[in-house]
Amino acid sequence: MIVATTSELPGMRVREVKGLVQGNTIRARNVGRDIVAGLRNIIGGEITEYTRLMTESRAEATQRMVQEAESLGANAILGVRFTTSTVISGAAELLAYGTAVVVEESS
C-alpha cells in the first residue's frame, strides 16, 4: 500500500478512485506519564512520554486507514492528512484520512 500526502505519484496514474478512507484512535494520558511530563515541564526539554504516545497513535490511526483502503480494493491512499482534537480533558483523538485509489504505472 502506497500512502502519500501528495495528490499525485510520479510515474503513476490514478485508474480508479475508491473514496474517502479514515482511521482514528482516542488515547488518554496516564498518571505515570503525567508525573514524568510534569517534571520535564519544570526543567524544560522534550516530553518524550507524550512524543511516544502520539507516535503510537499516528501509527495506529494510519494502520486502520490502510485496512479500510485495502477492504475497498485500493493499492494507494493519496492526500493523507492527520488531525487531532480533544475529546475530554486528558484524552485526544488522532484521525488519519485520505483518498483510496487504484494506481498503475503510467505508460
- Domain residues of the chain, as ranges? 2-105
- 1 grid coordinates: 500500500
Asked if the model's pLDDT at residue 105 lies above 80, the reply is: yes
pLDDT digits (tens, 9 = 90+) for 11-67: 999 999 999 999 999 988 665 555 555 655 666 677 777 888 889 999 999 999 999
Protein fold of 2-105: Translation Initiation Factor IF3 (3.30.110)
Cβ neighbors of 54 (< 8 A, separation 6 or more) are: 94
| Type of residue at 36 | V
